[in-house]
Structure 1
Amino acid sequence: MSIEPSSAVPVLVLAVRDEYAGRRWAPPGRHWPAQPSAVGGLDLVAGGTWLAVGSAGAGGEAGAVGEAVAACLLNGFGTLAPAQARQSRGELPLLAVRGGRIDRLDLDRYDPFHLVVARASGVRVLSWGGSGSRLAELDLPTGLSVVLNDGPEGMAENRTASERIRSLMGARAARFRARFETAARPEPLPDAVSTGEAWGAWLPIVAGDGLPLDDPAALVQRREFGDGRIWGSSSISLLAFGPAGVRYDFGPAPVEGDGDWRRVEAA
């Protein structure tokens, strides 16, 4: 996340989805008849999404009614919900973009998560570590911020016990924070036609920055953890929030070329 209140486009979000390769999904669209204004990728297993874009309704999270908002879900670490009562976390981004109150849910029914809620006025992260924990809320500061499965800047109350996973997340965050800090910050205005024109110096970095997929610091990655299953990056989303609303660019991961990107019509 890049937050610069003085910019013409004050909030930029890069979201890389990592998932097991066998989990089926569909690219962003209006997949939910009961919520026709919501746009996002569809998890074909549970029916929810990892990232949704919409317009906040009345009575929800702080922000103006009708304001463009996006919500991005990351799995967290902590106590899992009881299997017989478990609710899919994929419904949470949809709830957030229609202005629903996450803090009013029975959170004991959800596995741990971090939910990033972004709009032109700022970015808030809601973190849940499972039964016995509390819902933590954090407004991200001006500048660059990184949200991992270990929470904002890897500092959630509940974090992974795996040294290998912690090391991989840390290497990824450190390299790409440095890369984005030295690259010219784009201002993806709505009249920019192509993804390349809109995102400028960020785009080659977002596409992987030339690192092999198995590099410890790779942003776009592919891992084998020894159980026969493949874990890796399946898609990349770029969101820019400004006075005119939100610009949403989407591509598969890994991105093979500029033609892989498409602009998604959103709120």
Structure 2
Amino acid sequence: MCTCLLSFDPDSPVPVLAVGVRDEYTDRAWDMPAAHWPDRPGLVGGRDRQAGGTWLAVNPAAHRLGVVLNGCGVDAPAEGRLSRGDLPLRAAEHGDLGALDLARFDPFHLVCAEPDKIRLWTWTGLDLTDRWLDPGTHLVVNTGLDATCPGPSQIPEAALDGIRARLAHFRPLLASTPRPDPSGDASTAAAWGPWLPLAEGDALSTSDPRALLHRHTTDEGRVFGTTSVSLVALSHEGLRYDFTALPGDPTAWTRVLPA
């Protein structure tokens, strides 16, 4: 149930603002954002220990961001399946997908953002859609830019209801929240201003159907919920990356970049 909130204003000093919300099983081990990939020097992101990839990567030298969300459609065959965690690294490194055997990947949505453009790829397991996002605000969820699955859906109707409720609540809220100017050396709270309550879930309960930050226990007894939130700002002069591993706690934010 990951979510990526985007604001794109090419005329702003900081044209791209992004909130990356990662939802995962809370017992799945991961590492805090750092330069974890020696074969990809300069890339920074949190590392999933199970598959070795990431959900969000930044390239400070290129002022570029890559974010992946699970999609809906037809899963790849188990034999030969590749982790989607490589995709944000690829996007952040090259700004493109390059030559990929997409049939080896489960469905995904991949955001690649730079100060003057935002690109969104959607793979359903059958078809690839490649689009450029217009200036404005956008919410990317597991069904894409709205609550309609672009391919065959494995998402239960109750989960789709939650996606619809989240979009209905946060889409107008994102559009009406003043854009901050997160440049310079200010603290996370000072830099992100009115966007910080937004990134902290707008004070909604984690059990609220509209929740951006959520948490629930599955029938198998595992806890699934929001495990981290990232704030990324892209400008032609630089890149800022703030992170929390305790979503909803305003004191837990740290600045990853600039270091």
Is it true that 1:113 corresponds to 2:108 in the alignment?
Answer: yes
The answer for the alignment partner of 2:211 in structure 1 is: 218
Is it true that 1:185 corresponds to 2:179 in the alignment?
Answer: yes
How many equivalent residue pairs?
253
Label 1:219 to 1:80 Cα distance change in 2 as closer, same or farther (>3 A): same
The percent of aligned pairs where both chains have the same amino acid is 43
Residue in structure 1 matching 2:166, options 169, 172, 191: 172
Is it true that 1:23 corresponds to 2:23 in the alignment?
Answer: no
Query: After superposition, what is the alpha-carbon deviation per residue over 1:112-146, rounded to whole angstroms, capped at 9, x for unaligned?
Result: 1111101101211111111xx22111111111111
Asked if the contact 2:120/2:130 (under 8 Å) is kept, the reply is yes
Segments of 5+ residues of structure 1 without an aligned counterpart are 56-65
Q: How does 1:1-267 map to 2 (within 5 A)?
A: 1-54=6-59, 67-99=62-94, 101-102=96-97, 104-130=99-125, 133-158=126-151, 159-189=153-183, 191-258=184-251, 260-265=252-257
Q: Distance in 1 between matches of 2:196 and 2:155?
A: 33
Taking only aligned residues, the RMSD between alpha carbons, in angstroms, comes to: 1.7
Q: For residue 265 of structure 1, what is the amino acid of its counterpart? A: L
3-state SS of paired residue (1:98): helix
Q: For residue 199 of structure 1, what is the amino acid of its counterpart? A: W
Asked if the contact 2:72/2:150 (under 8 Å) is kept, the reply is no
Q: Distance in 1 between matches of 2:254 and 2:245?
A: 10
3-state SS of paired residue (2:120): strand
Label 1:208 to 1:100 Cα distance change in 2 as closer, same or farther (>3 A): closer
**1:103 Cα deviation after fit:** 5.0
**1:219 Cα deviation after fit:** 0.9
Tell me which moved more, 17-26 or 94-103. 94-103
Tell me which moved more, 98-107 or 108-117. 98-107
**1:167 Cα deviation after fit:** 0.7
Query: After superposition, what is the alpha-carbon deviation per residue over 1:14-42, rounded to whole angstroms, capped at 9, x for unaligned?
Result: 11001111111111001111112110000
Query: After superposition, what is the alpha-carbon deviation per residue over 1:68-91, rounded to whole angstroms, capped at 9, x for unaligned?
Result: 111001011111111111111111
Q: Distance in 1 between matches of 2:250 and 2:95?
A: 38
Q: For residue 116 of structure 1, what is the amino acid of its counterpart? A: V
3-state SS of paired residue (2:33): strand
Q: Distance in 2 between matches of 1:8 and 1:154?
A: 32
Q: Distance in 2 between matches of 1:160 and 1:261?
A: 34
Label 1:244 to 1:155 Cα distance change in 2 as closer, same or farther (>3 A): farther
Asked if the contact 2:239/2:257 (under 8 Å) is kept, the reply is no
3-state SS of paired residue (2:118): strand
Q: Distance in 2 between matches of 1:227 and 1:78?
A: 24
3-state SS of paired residue (1:84): coil
Segments of 5+ residues of structure 2 without an aligned counterpart are 1-5
Query: After superposition, what is the alpha-carbon deviation per residue over 1:41-65, rounded to whole angstroms, capped at 9, x for unaligned?
Result: 000111000011116xxxxxxxxxx
3-state SS of paired residue (2:94): coil
Q: For residue 94 of structure 1, what is the amino acid of its counterpart? A: L
Q: For residue 75 of structure 1, what is the amino acid of its counterpart? A: N
Asked if the contact 2:31/2:46 (under 8 Å) is kept, the reply is yes
Query: After superposition, what is the alpha-carbon deviation per residue over 1:154-193, rounded to whole angstroms, capped at 9, x for unaligned?
Result: 345224442111111111122112222222111111x142
Asked if the contact 1:42/1:48 (under 8 Å) is kept, the reply is yes
Q: For residue 108 of structure 1, what is the amino acid of its counterpart? A: A
Q: For residue 176 of structure 2, what is the amino acid of its counterpart? A: T
